[in-house]
């Protein structure tokens, strides 16, 4: 009999295996499997996964699953943040169609693997887009940018890099935040804590609480900042407040990690929405930025994004990049070509770029107009309560203040789908559907569910 020394194995399964072999000397693997198998498994037809419980749907993407099952003709999906036209249809931007046509017409294009860091031109152009063409970090070549799988992938790669190489393992995220943030960073190997951000009483920023919590965070802690259009609250600090946040964070050596999922969607201007990030870069300090092209270029399913790490010197940036490659290679090896190529075509061409900014502004303006229409519709109905936050909040979402019971009533009675925290995606509304939503909100708040 072949003897194997399992004594150094840390796995209890392996130790049990060794013990069984010992007890059943001369046994074959059939004998072992009969001991290992659960009573219902194997040839009798049961599954080795039979013990699994049904996992809950994702709190955001699960809303779409429920919506898709609803046969009602008046159903409305205001769950996931996905832009819809006035006709309620998903939108592929005209510039994206043009860029794709260019790519298809170019017979020299090939499908070889990209490098681990992705499409190099895309990376350069993405850094320029978020930091500004005149950024000192770009001029001094002390930034590394890697293409990642949209915003989520960029956050995850950045999180794992920090967990491996940064001395502080705690990341502070806003209370509340996008539901995926805590999961991404926990799985990346960081410890997640929250800082106060939103004040339900004013439906605005709890600036005092924010300053207190960041002021009390241990020196060097990582702080996740929503660059603009905070999800889910739609509440952003003013530029003066950003400056105070910057000063506090720099004085304590807190590490800024920006999540920029909505550049251009808050104000309609790419430069205005990138301002908070540029303030942190202008002071010469280090930071991380996760960028997504899902919303602002409508490339949701193409999964295009970038992670940039701004360093103190070109030398450090080069070593950071070498380590990022070690994070990426075993995760997904290298990123996809198509989406990043679309972005590169648009960002490199002056005319296409200008056309994009116009289409982006049109999307942002339509969302702003939905805010006004919904606010007016509630006013016309005399709906009790102050609904001015609908027009004050910015970006894709309104944090209505409706509670889970009220949301559930609206789904059941009005076929309106939204996340249970009362967030609605304004981008999913149209002039035609505003009255239906206003009727539902009016009904639910006057009913005292």
Between 288 and 317, CB nearer to ligand PLA:
288
Q: Which of 256, 305, 339, 395 binds ligand PLA (CB under 6 A)?
A: 305
Q: Which residues of 229-243 are buried (b: 16+ CB within 10 A; e: fewer)?
A: bbbbbbbbbeeeebe
Q: Which of 246, 247, 273, 249 is nearest to 260 (CA)?
A: 273
Between 119 and 317, CB nearer to ligand PLA:
119
Q: Which of 160, 213, 236, 259 binds ligand PLA (CB under 6 A)?
A: 259
Active site residue 295: yes
Active site residue 387: no
Residues 424, 30: Cα–Cα separation, whole Å: 56
Using N-to-C axis directions, what is the helix angle for 150-165 and 314-332, rounded to 10°?
A: 110
> How many C-beta neighbours within 10 Å does residue 178 have?
23
Asked if 118 interacts with ligand PLA (CB under 6 A), we say: no
Stretch that binds ligand PLA, among 88-96, 146-154, 160-168, 441-449 (CB under 6 A): 146-154
Q: Which of 118, 132, 151, 234 binds ligand PLA (CB under 6 A)?
A: 151
Cα Dmax for the chain: 86
Q: Which of 213, 259, 421, 439 is catalytic?
A: 259
Asked if 261 interacts with ligand PLA (CB under 6 A), we say: yes
Between 81 and 159, CB nearer to ligand PLA:
81
What is the end-to-end Cα distance of the chain in Å, rounded? 71
Q: Which of 67, 78, 81, 84 binds ligand PLA (CB under 6 A)?
A: 81
Q: Which of 144, 206, 233, 292 binds ligand PLA (CB under 6 A)?
A: 292
Check: CB of residue 113 under 8 Å from CB of residue 333: yes
Binding mask 34-73 for ligand PLA (x = CB under 6 A): --------------------------x-------------
For the CB of residue 42, give the shortest distance to ligand PLA in the complex, in Å. 39
Beta strands, E only, 49-120: 76-77
Residues 354, 109: Cα–Cα separation, whole Å: 25
Q: Which of 254, 119, 103, 232 is nearest to 177 (CA)?
A: 232
Residues 413, 228: Cα–Cα separation, whole Å: 34
For the CB of residue 233, give the shortest distance to ligand PLA in the complex, in Å. 11
Active site residue 259: yes
Between 157 and 327, CB nearer to ligand PLA:
157
Q: Which of 152, 263, 398, 433 binds ligand PLA (CB under 6 A)?
A: 152
Asked if 160 interacts with ligand PLA (CB under 6 A), we say: no
Asked if 302 interacts with ligand PLA (CB under 6 A), we say: no
Between 262 and 409, CB nearer to ligand PLA:
262
3-state secondary structure of 143: strand
User: Is the omega angle on the peptide bond into residue 232 within 30 degrees of 0, that is, cis?
Assistant: yes
Q: Which of 306, 271, 308 is nearest to 291 (CA)?
A: 306
Q: Residue 234 corresponds to which tokens in the numbers above?
A: 């739609």
Residues at the interface with ligand PLA (CB under 6 A): 60, 80-81, 150-152, 178, 180, 226, 231, 259, 261, 292, 294, 305
């Amino acid at each position: 009999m072949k003897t194997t020394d399992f004594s150094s194995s840390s796995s209890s399964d392996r130790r049990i295996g060794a013990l069984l072999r010992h007890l059943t000397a001369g046994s074959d693997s059939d004998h072992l499997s009969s001991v290992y198998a659960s009573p219902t498994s194997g040839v009798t037809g049961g599954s080795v996964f039979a013990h699994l419980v049904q996992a809950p749907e994702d709190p955001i993407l699960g809303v779409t699953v429920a919506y898709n099952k609803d046969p009602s003709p008046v159903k409305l999906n205001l769950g996931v943040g996905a832009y819809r036209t006035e006709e309620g249809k998903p939108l592929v931007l005209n510039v994206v169609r043009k860029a794709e046509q260019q790519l298809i017409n170019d017979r020299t294009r090939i499908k070889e693997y990209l490098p681990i860091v992705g499409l190099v031109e895309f990376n350069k152009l993405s850094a320029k887009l978020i930091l500004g063409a005149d950024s000192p970090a770009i001029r001094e070549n002390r930034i590394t940018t890697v293409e990642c799988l949209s915003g989520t992938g960029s956050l995850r790669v950045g999180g794992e890099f920090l967990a491996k190489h940064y001395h502080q393992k705690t990341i502070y995220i806003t209370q509340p935040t996008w539901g995926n943030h805590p999961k991404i960073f926990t799985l990346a190997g960081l410890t997640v804590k929250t800082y106060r951000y939103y004040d339900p009483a004013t439906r605005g920023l709890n600036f005092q609480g924010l300053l207190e919590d960041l002021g009390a965070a241990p020196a060097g802690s990582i702080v996740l900042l929503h660059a603009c259009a905070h999800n889910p609250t739609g509440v952003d600090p003013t530029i003066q407040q950003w400056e105070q946040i910057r000063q506090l964070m720099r004085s304590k050596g807190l590490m800024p990690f920006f999540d920029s999922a909505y550049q251009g969607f808050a104000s309609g201007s790419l430069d205005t929405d990138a301002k908070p990030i540029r303030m942190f870069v202008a002071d010469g300090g280090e930071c991380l930025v996760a960028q997504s092209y899902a919303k602002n270029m409508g490339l949701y399913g193409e999964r295009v994004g970038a992670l940039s790490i701004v360093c103190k010197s070109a030398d450090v940036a080069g070593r950071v990049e070498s380590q990022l490659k070690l994070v990426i290679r075993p995760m997904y090896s290298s990123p996809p070509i198509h989406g990043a190529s679309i972005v590169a075509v648009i960002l490199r061409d002056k005319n296409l770029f200008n056309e994009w900014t116009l289409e982006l502004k049109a999307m942002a303006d339509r969302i702003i107009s939905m805010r006004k229409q919904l606010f007016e519709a509630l006013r016309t109905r005399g709906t009790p309560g102050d609904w001015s936050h609908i027009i004050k909040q910015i970006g894709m979402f309104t944090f209505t203040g409706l509670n889970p019971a009220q949301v559930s009533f609206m789904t059941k009675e009005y076929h309106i789908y939204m996340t249970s925290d009362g967030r609605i995606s304004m981008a999913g509304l149209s002039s035609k559907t505003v009255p239906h939503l206003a009727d539902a909100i009016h009904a639910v708040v006057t009913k005292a569910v």
